[in-house]
Amino acid sequence: MQQSVLTTVMLPAALALIMFGLGLSLAPQDFARIATRPKAVVIALVAQILVLPAICFGLVVLFGLEPLLAAGMMLLAASPGGTTANLYSHLFGGDVALNVSLTAVNSVLAVLTLPLVVNLSLDHFVGAGPDIGLQADKVVQVFAIVLVPVAVGMTVRRVSATFANRMDKPVRILSAIVLAAVIVGAIVQERERLGGYIASVGLVALLFSAISLTIGYWLPRLFDVERRQAIASGMEIGIHNSTLAITIALSPTLLANPTMAVPPAVYGVLMFGTTLVFGYLVRRRATEPAEPSPASG
C-alpha cells in the first residue's frame, strides 16, 4: 500500500510541482529568444538528443549492465535537462537565459524523443512484448505529466508575474520535500538490493554524468560558442531530469518497473558531486589569465 501511494500520488505530484515551478519561470519570449542564438541552441539539442543517448548506449554495453538497468540508463539519457541546471549555470557564470530557452525546448521535444528511445532500448535489451514500452496512450500521458503543468505555470505567470515570482520558492521547497519522501520510500522498499544496484550501475551513472557535462561544454566551444553559453549548455546537457525518468519508470500506468528507476535514482545523487567539480573547473578556467602570444615578446 505504501509503495502504491508513493508511485500513484506522491511521485507524480512531485513531478507536477517541479514542472509547474518551471512554468512559473517561463514566458513565451523564452522560446522566441532561441532565434537570437541559433548556433548554441542547435549544438546543444544535437548533443542532447543524438550524442548522449549514443554514448549512454556504448557505456551500458561496455559495462554489460543487466537488461532492465541498461534500459533505465537509456531512459535517463533520453530525459531532458533538469530544472536545477538553471541554478548551477547561475552559480558558475553561465548564460541562464540560454538555459531557460533550452529547458523549454527540451521539455517539448522530449515528449517525442523520450518514448522513441525508451521503446527502442526495451526492444533491444529486454525484448518485445505486449506490455513493454510506451504505447500511444502512454505517450499521451507523458505529454500530460511533462507539458500540462508547465503550461499551467506559464499561464499563472502571464496572469500575474508578481504572484509567480512569489510562489517560485515555496513551490521548489514543497516539491523537494515530496520528492525526498518518495526517494526514501523507494530506498526502503529496495533496501535489500540497493547495495548491488549501486555496485552495478554506480560507475556507469558517474561516468555518464561526467561525460555529459564535458560534451555539453566542449562541443559548443569547438564551434566557437562563447564561454558563458558553453557553460549553460554544459549544465543543461549534463544535468538530466532524473525525477521525470523515475516517474515514468515507477508509474503504474507507464512502465511500472522499479528496476528501471534505479539508474536515474543513483545518477540523481551522484550528479551533484560531478556538477560541482565541473562548475569549479570551468570557473577556474575562466579566471585564468590568457597566455601571451609568442609575438608579444
Residue ranges of alpha helices (H) inside the chain are: 2-5, 11-24, 28-32, 38-46, 52-62, 67-78, 85-91, 96-125, 136-159, 161-189, 191-222, 227-238, 242-250, 258-287
Q: How far apart are CA 232 and CA 42, in angstroms?
A: 13
Contact 249, 79 (CB under 8 A): no
Question: Of residues 75 and 168, which shows the higher confidence score?
Answer: 75
Q: Is the pTM of this model over 0.85?
A: no
Contact (Cβ atoms closer than 8 angstroms) between residue 260 and residue 71: yes
Tens-place pLDDT, residues 205-249:
999 999 999 999 999 999 988 888 899 899 988 888 887 888 788
**pLDDT tens for residues 160-199?**
888 888 887 787 777 667 666 666 666 666 667 667 777 7
